[in-house]
Amino acid sequence: MHLIITEKHDTAKRIAAILSEKKPDKERVNGVDTYKFDGTTIIGLSGHIVEVDFPKEYNNWQKTDLNNLIHAEVLTNPTHANIVTAIRKLGKAADHLTIATDYDREGELIGVEALNVVKKVKSEVRADRVHYSTITPAEIKKAFSAPVNIDFNLAAAGESRQLIDLIWGAVLTRFVSLSSGRLGDKFLSVGRVQSPTLAIIVNREKEREAFVAVPYWELYATLVNGGEFEAQHKKGRFLDKTEAETIQAKLGKTGIVKTIVLGKRSEKPPTPFNTTEFLRAASAIGISPANAMRLAEFLYVNGYISYPRTDNTVYPSTLDVKGIIESFLNTEFKEYAQKILSGKLEPTRGKKETTDHPPIHPATPVKRSQLKEDEWKLYELIVRRFFATFAEQTVWETMAVTVDISGEDFGANGARLVEPGWRWYYSYNLPEDRILPQLKEGQTLGVKDVKLEAKETQPPSRYGQGHLIKIMEDLGLGTKSTRHEIISKLFSRAYVHGNPLQPTKTAFAVVEALEKYANTITKPDMTSKLEKDMDEISEGKITEDFVVKESRDMLDGVFKDLTRNKELISESLRNGLYEDRVIGICQKCSSDLIIRKSKKGSRFIGCSGYPNCDFTLPLPRIGQIVVTEKQCKDHGLFHIKILNKGKRPWEIGCPHCNFNEWQKKVEEEKKNGSGKEPAVKIRESEKSTGKSKSPKKPKSLNKKNQTE
């Protein structure tokens, strides 16, 4: 029997449909769907079927010596027992095994994990590997007609990442969580990629906080003569308001066109999509990197696009670009396909060329009606980018005008799109035309209005997710397959919120403590070095054991720094975490209002002056509470939002205003006599729990329940 193993069930189903001449038979083996035809069985995994972990004696965080954990044995345990058992059963009957998982480090490791399971029951089984970048009939048949050897070095590189991330993550997370007193589901995660990434976000926020705005003024004149346009004084920014006002006062009612400079500006078409640029483009149209990868995976498995994890920005010569473009002649992209085919098929080339996968491109056409709205939005982005890489340059006609008003030069710039080129295909973020009226040198213009605008310099902007992924790539943090996951983890741990990304006080506390006492963890250098080592493992230059030992030795040095400063780190973390619980100042006694928790587990906002002050406000039962920088004008309290996995952030706003709104609704319902409890903000979070409890008026709580 020929056993084929794919990475996911949907991939197995699709490949079975392609390879079988007639519909394959579906058969369940140990509760797992398999597909059989002509002596062949295809089974799909669910990603990794085993995981790495420490022995059970290391499970207790408080009792484990972290020095020992650094060098502890790491075990491999099954994560999907039913799939493992199914593979064993099938493996006993197999004389030929083909690994058809995704072609990258992770995919190679997943395939080797499955191979090892089979070899335990059939050591002599013949095994090979197939590579493909699109799940289309032509490419799948071609791949299975020319199998290759399994790349054990590539798998070892993937396994080394698993081991290193486990060891670093476990040791650092436990140390920081124990030092801060944050255990249970509110533990503080730390990791070799996560922490340098968080430091980038925190340090940008520090730059913003340290920024001192500088006031300046800009002088504008509205000019008319048949048409109307605005020109700015050539100096641009005036740091001296008096100087600007003096010039403004002397300006007359007419101006003379001093110079007109006509020109052309061209824009080169974009390069093919690699993963980083794809995620940045998706982010620019409102799809987060994590969501973009999820959608891209769906499109890939269904044969609509190529493999979405690639560093390549050069289409290989073997890619049938003409055939792909021709396949769109009977779709809504017909006009674009015809235009491209009428010219030279010479695509742009990026700086990086690899041999594993081509840049991301459409594989087969699909109708808009066959996809959900967000799936189509992403598919269309990929199709349009593909077409744009074969298009001509975009050409703009430009005009720069200088007008003399009472001896002062004012300038205006116009631009008009004359040759759309690639922007006709890829029209995202298209700049608008700036049309100036017909003008001649020496022409007299009327000065309709003059205005002096007061402005101030702005702090550096926060990083959007797309921009952050690019920075991570430049610094060697993570890989094309993991960067979006790292950002998602920062959200799930309530280290950041919003987009652009804003760090919480907890993030500040963790980064500042690590930077001060063990800054190796927050710098990209160490992580970048390990990433390069993993590349060398895949190339067969060094061994997995060498790199894992090297990383353990690095961690030894880091941990010595942490241990030496344990008390200082603990104090720093606890102080920082306290700040993240502060909602504002109590209007009754001027003490801090903080997020508290009763012994029964309910959360509320209570006064730090308790028992002398008994002011409280209710909070939702579930979800991560994030304190934002926005403050209520009426109560002085910081607005809060609630994060629940898989859901959009729930903006509560000012908790006092929210409570007042709820009380007002209650009173209205009583007056109307409906007897129904109003479903306003503070109540909505409790729907999923199946329980409800009306918020109480601010009052004192029994002291034994007022625990932090």
Question: Rounded CA gap, 707 and 599, in Å?
Answer: 6
Q: Is the pLDDT higher at 109 or at 225?
A: 109
Write down the pLDDT at residue 519: 86
Residues 402 and 442 both lie in one domain: yes
Question: Rounded CA gap, 3 and 96, in Å?
Answer: 6
Residues 221 and 307 both lie in one domain: no
- Is the per-residue pLDDT at 692 higher than 50? no
> Any catalytic annotation for residue 132?
no
CATH of the domain at 39: 3.40.50.140
Residues 181 and 229 both lie in one domain: no
104-113, 591-600, 605-614, 663-672: range with highest mean pLDDT: 104-113
Mean pLDDT score, 400-408: 96
> pTM for this one?
0.85
Cα dist from 666 to 172, 303, 615, 651, 685, whole Å: 48, 54, 21, 21, 17
Cα dist from 692 to 596, 620, 649, 686, whole Å: 19, 10, 21, 6
Mean pLDDT score, 190-194: 91
Write down the pLDDT at residue 202: 96
CATH of the domain at 327: 1.10.290.10
Question: Rounded CA gap, 49 and 110, in Å?
Answer: 7
Residues 143 and 19 both lie in one domain: yes
Contact 128, 33 (CB under 8 A): no
Write down the pLDDT at residue 4: 97
- Is the per-residue pLDDT at 28 higher than 50? yes
Q: Does the residue 197 lie in any domain?
A: yes
Give residue-wise pLDDT tens across range 516-559.
888 888 999 888 888 889 889 999 999 999 999 999 999 999 89
Question: Rounded CA gap, 122 and 97, in Å?
Answer: 10
Mean pLDDT score, 250-270: 96
Mean pLDDT score, 32-55: 94
Write down the pLDDT at residue 682: 44
- Is the per-residue pLDDT at 694 higher than 70? no
Residues 602 and 571 both lie in one domain: no
- Is the per-residue pLDDT at 191 higher than 50? yes
Task: Please state which of the ranges 528-542, 554-568, 688-702 shows the lowest mean pLDDT.
Answer: 688-702
Q: What percent of the chain stands above pLDDT 90?
A: 67
Write down the pLDDT at residue 703: 32
Give residue-wise pLDDT tens across range 346-362.
999 999 988 889 999 99
Mean pLDDT score, 639-653: 82
Strands (E) across 252-383 are located at 254-267
Mean pLDDT score, 632-653: 84
Q: Does the residue 59 lie in any domain?
A: no
Q: Does the residue 57 lie in any domain?
A: no
Mean pLDDT score, 334-342: 96
Contact 410, 221 (CB under 8 A): yes
- Is the per-residue pLDDT at 593 higher than 70? yes
Q: Does the residue 73 lie in any domain?
A: no
- Is the per-residue pLDDT at 684 higher than 50? no
Give residue-wise pLDDT tens across range 431-459.
889 999 999 999 999 999 999 999 999 99
Mean pLDDT score, 232-247: 96
Write down the pLDDT at residue 686: 36
Write down the pLDDT at residue 185: 67
- Is the per-residue pLDDT at 57 higher than 90? yes
- Is the per-residue pLDDT at 94 higher than 70? yes
Contact 310, 358 (CB under 8 A): yes
Q: Does the residue 71 lie in any domain?
A: no
Task: Please state which of the ranges 100-114, 217-231, 325-339, 574-588 shows the lowest mean pLDDT.
Answer: 574-588
Q: Which domain holds residue 678?
A: 582-705
Mean pLDDT score, 20-32: 92
Task: Please state which of the ranges 90-94, 139-143, 456-460, 509-513 shows the lowest mean pLDDT.
Answer: 509-513
Mean pLDDT score, 361-381: 97
Residues 241 and 197 both lie in one domain: no
Q: Does the residue 55 lie in any domain?
A: no
Q: Which of 314, 392, 391 is nearest to 350 (CA)?
A: 314
Task: Out of 432, 456, 480, pick the residue that ends a domain.
Answer: 456
Residues 21 and 132 both lie in one domain: yes
Q: Is 48 left (phi over 0), alpha (psi -120 to 50) or beta?
A: beta
Q: Which residue has the tokens 């619980």?
A: 581
Residues 479 and 549 both lie in one domain: yes
Residues 311 and 377 both lie in one domain: yes
CA 684 to chain CA centroid, Å, is: 27
Mean pLDDT score, 491-498: 87
Write down the pLDDT at residue 199: 96
Residues 376 and 292 both lie in one domain: yes
| Whole-number average pLDDT of the chain | 89
User: Using 50, 70 and 90 to split pLDDT, how confident is the model at 324?
Assistant: very high
- Is the per-residue pLDDT at 240 higher than 90? yes
Write down the pLDDT at residue 673: 66
Residues 404 and 474 both lie in one domain: no
Given the residues 307, 315, 336, 463, select the one marked as catalytic: 307
Domain count, the chain: 5
Q: Does the residue 425 lie in any domain?
A: yes
- Is the per-residue pLDDT at 390 higher than 90? yes
Q: Which of 56, 55, 154, 57 is nearest to 110 (CA)?
A: 154
364-368, 501-505, 598-602: range with highest mean pLDDT: 364-368
Residues 471 and 569 both lie in one domain: yes
Peptide bond preceding 78 in cis form (omega within 30 of 0): no
Q: Does the residue 58 lie in any domain?
A: no
